[in-house]
Amino acid sequence: MDYFMLVNLVSGFLILSALAVVLAPTPKASTYFYILQALLIVGLFIALGAATDSETLLKWSITSFVTKVVLVPAMFLFALKKLAAYKKPPAEGKTKPLLMIGLAAIEVLVCYVLVDGINLPMVAEVKLPLAISLAHFFIGLTCIITQRNIFKQVFGYCLMENGSHITLALLASTAPELVEIGVATDAIFAVLIMLAVASMIYKVNKTVDAHDLSELRG
């Protein structure tokens, strides 16, 4: 079996899972789609490890499982349960699914054109997944810009971080484990602190709607 084909296939599903995280009706539903996405990333690392004979990537799949499949969703579910914010979600804004899908398609296309201009031997076989990882990063950014629920904005950051992580795996599969652990651990702390601030805002301001956080202007 051609493992690179599998890598391409999984990366395609990654875009779909990212869109599901963004378009899910509640932060809790986003969390479950995020678990699905994290499992796909673990699968991608295993497939890529098999394609490149990289033991490092197999180790990365384990740390990714711990951090992305277990820790990050657990933190989200804990924060949401504690605040019960998910029971009465604020207005999500009017993110039209077709518009979001269209934006994602444009992002993939633009990223492919950018990646196509890179002339490095390591890029030759992974141009499509590389373009998708870059597009994944921008889908995360789009999520932050379009979503009003601050918990879903945190998911946008997670998607951006996943995009960077996949790029690192695609381009530097020989990177020392310490590099990958550093990146993953930092993301965990970032999510933890963002969730803590979001929870404080809910307690004090009684809202998780970003539009209600607009008193400081000018």
Q: What are the residues binding other proteins (CB under 8 A)?
A: 114, 117-122, 134, 137, 140-141, 144, 150, 153, 156-157, 160-161, 163-164, 167-168, 170-172, 174-176, 179, 182-183, 186, 189-190, 193-194, 197-198, 200-201, 204-205, 213-216, 218
Tell me whether residue 74 or residue 197 sits nearer to other proteins (CB atom): 197
Q: Which is nearer to other proteins, 47 or 111 (CB)?
A: 111
- Contact between 45 and 60 (Cβ < 8 Å): yes
The CA R_g of the chain, rounded to the nearest whole Å, is 18
Q: How far is the CB of 94 from other proteins (least distance, A)?
A: 21
Nearest approach in angstroms of CB 103 to other proteins is 17
Quote the least distance from Cβ 141 to other proteins, whole Å.
7
**To the nearest whole angstrom, how small is the minimum distance from the Cβ of residue 107 to other proteins?**
14
* Total count of residues recorded for the chain: 218
Give backbone dihedrals phi and psi of 149, rounded to 5 degrees, phi first. -75, 120
Report in angstroms the alpha-carbon separations of 44 from 9, 63, 111, 214: 9, 13, 19, 40
Decide: 144 and 153 in contact? Cβ < 8 Å: yes
